[in-house]
């Protein structure tokens, strides 16, 4: 990630570069908006909201957001 951050050019208003984490699951199932993604329904739900915009503030279309979470004891679903 350090090399990517140092060598990749980005606009000064763009977010910092990031690489996929070790727990990323390729081809994970897609979920509809506002769905509860807790597999066991335990713990407190968290609401995540955001907007995806370009550096000029215009909304982006056709983008995908990957979201994952940890259970109440700190494990992601692929760790259990």
- Rounded Cα distance, 55 and 58, in Å: 8
* pLDDT at position 58: 95
In the chain, where the domains are located: 1-80
- The rounded mean pLDDT for the chain is 77
Q: How far is CA 50 from CA 32, 53, 59, 65, in A?
A: 15, 10, 11, 10
Residue-wise pLDDT for 51-80, tens only, equals 889 989 999 998 877 777 777 777 776 666
Give this prediction's pTM. Answer: 0.49
CA dihedral 29, 35, 38, 42 (to 10 degrees): -160
- Residue 11 CA from chain centroid, whole number: 21
């Amino acid at each position: 990630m350090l090399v990517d951050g140092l060598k990749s050019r980005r606009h000064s208003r763009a977010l910092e570069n990031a690489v996929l984490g070790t727990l990323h699951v390729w081809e994970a199932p897609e979920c509809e908006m506002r769905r509860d993604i807790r597999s066991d329904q335990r713990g407190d739900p968290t609401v995540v909201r955001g907007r995806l915009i370009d550096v000029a503030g215009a909304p982006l279309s056709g983008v995908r957001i990957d979201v994952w979470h940890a259970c109440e004891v700190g494990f992601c679903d692929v760790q259990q």
